[in-house]
């Protein structure tokens, strides 16, 4: 059994390569829910949807999120009614949020709802939210404290980051199956995702980090930072706001208490020694996933590395 820890687009790209070479039933994906929020009375789970849509083959590949060929009629109409249009929600995408919200209101947990959505989209992968409880990532900035989506989408990550708050972290319990799959897996993959607001949130959920340390699985991470910068998203701003150097080394450092292998981009040869001094084996390869072949090749490198520890 394989468990993957995942944020949004970076993880989804990697996982779409992995499921080409590993039976879907063998894979559990634990997904960040710190980006979740309520909009128009609906529960939105951006990372869960990116992973689900991508693995179901319906994602808008150009954007990396949303459903391909979607229209935005509902949002345009809402704008006419005076609602702010800062978070793009396509018409088909809205159906997911409506379905999710109806089921949550009926008393189902987010895990149960996610399972239902996966089944209806024909997915056999076990996709789990990191928690069923309320958990929100808030960013402290020079313009005030705001929800992560407000910082990223509404304000375009333009404010200076002063800190990150995980609201709900004291009481949020891991969703059913999260700890068990970490403990039972033979391989745990930390996907190339934001180390602070995607993987950092998952690691902050009670018991997750301890389970990773305790698990006998091979634990392999793929660097989301290449040549001192993320390929997309605000990882650099968040890392430097927290006083961290923006480098692949910093990411490995954040995972040093449980990680066995770090997959480093071939452009970051110069980081190898520093990372190995943390007691983590490194493997250099191309980690930039543009084509399906790139994704499958990267997945093969990870599987190969898991055999040779």
Residues of the shown chain interacting with ligand GDP in the complex, contacts defined by CB under 6 A: 7-11, 13, 47, 192-194, 198, 222-224, 226, 230-233, 235, 287-289
| For ligand GDP, the closer CB: 184 or 300 | 300
Q: Return the residue nearest ligand GDP (CB atom).
A: 7
| Residue 155: CB minimum distance to ligand GDP, A | 15
What is the C-alpha separation between 103 and 125, in angstroms, rounded? 21
Phi, psi of 218 (to 5 degrees): -80, 130
Which residue in this structure is represented by tokens 């693995």? 55
Shortest Cβ 292–ligand GDP spacing (Å): 12
| DSSP SS3 for 213 | helix
Scanning the structure block, which residue is given the tokens 């989408």? 153
* Per-residue DSSP letter, 54: H
Sign of the C-alpha dihedral computed for residues 6, 307, 255 and 275 taken in this order: negative
Nearer to ligand GDP, 17 or 174 (CB): 17
Between 102 and 292, name the residue whose CB sits nearer to ligand GDP: 292
Residue closer to ligand GDP (CB basis): 103 or 244: 244
Run of H or E residues at 167: strand 161-167
Output the smallest distance, CB 146 to ligand GDP, in A.
16
For residue 106, the minimal CB distance to ligand GDP (Å) is 28
User: Which residue lies nearer to ligand GDP by CB, 174 or 230?
Assistant: 230
**Residue 301: which of 268, 274, 261, 253 has the closest Cα?**
261
Q: Which is nearer to ligand GDP, 111 or 223 (CB)?
A: 223
Nearest-approach distance from CB 265 to ligand GDP, in angstroms:
6
Give me the least distance between CB of 163 and ligand GDP, in Å please. Answer: 19
Q: Report phi then psi at 270, rounded to 5.
A: -65, -15
Residue 44 tokens, joined: 């939105």
Nearer to ligand GDP, 291 or 308 (CB): 291
Contact in structure between 215 and 183 (CB atoms under 8 Å): yes
DSSP 74: H
What's the number of CA atoms in the CB half-sphere (13 Å) around residue 272?
10
Residue of 232, 223, 230, 218 lying closest to 185 (CA atoms): 218
- The answer to whether the CB of 235 falls within 8 A of the CB of 196 is yes
Distance CA 161, CA 244 (A): 12
**CB-nearer residue toward ligand GDP: 7 or 66:** 7
Least distance from ligand GDP to the Cβ atom of residue 266, Å: 11
* Least distance in angstroms from the C-beta of 273 to ligand GDP: 20
């Amino acid at each position: 059994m394989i468990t993957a820890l995942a944020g949004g687009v970076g993880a989804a790209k990697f996982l779409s390569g992995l499921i080409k070479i590993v039976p879907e039933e063998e894979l559990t994906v634990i997904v960040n829910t710190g980006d979740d929020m309520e909009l128009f009375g609906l529960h939105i789970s951006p990372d869960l949807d990116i992973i689900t849509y991508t693995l179901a083959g319906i994602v808008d590949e150009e954007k990396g999120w949303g459903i391909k060929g979607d229209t935005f009629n509902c949002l345009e109409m809402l704008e006419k009614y005076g609602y702010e249009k800062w978070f793009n929600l396509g018409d088909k995408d809205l159906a997911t949020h409506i379905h999710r919200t109806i089921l949550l209101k009926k008393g189902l947990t987010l895990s149960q709802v996610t399972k239902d959505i996966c089944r209806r989209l024909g997915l056999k992968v076990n996709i789990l939210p990191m928690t069923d409880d309320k958990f929100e990532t808030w960013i402290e900035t020079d313009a005030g404290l705001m929800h992560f989506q407000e910082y990223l989408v509404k304000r375009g990550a333009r404010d200076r980051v002063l800190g990150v708050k995980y609201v709900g972290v004291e009481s949020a319990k891991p969703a059913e199956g999260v700890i068990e799959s970490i403990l039972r897996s033979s391989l745990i993959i930390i996907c190339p995702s934001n180390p602070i607001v995607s993987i950092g949130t998952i690691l902050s959920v009670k018991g997750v980090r301890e389970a990773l340390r305790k698990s006998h699985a091979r634990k392999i991470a793929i660097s989301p930072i290449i040549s001192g910068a993320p390929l997309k998203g605000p990882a650099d701003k968040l890392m430097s706001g927290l006083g961290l150097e923006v480098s692949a080394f910093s990411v490995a450092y954040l995972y040093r208490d449980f990680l066995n292998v770090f997959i480093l981009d071939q452009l970051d040869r110069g980081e190898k020694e520093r990372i190995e001094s943390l007691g983590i084996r490194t493997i250099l390869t191309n980690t930039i996933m543009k084509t399906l072949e790139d994704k499958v090749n990267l997945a093969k490198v990870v599987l190969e590395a898991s055999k040779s520890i």
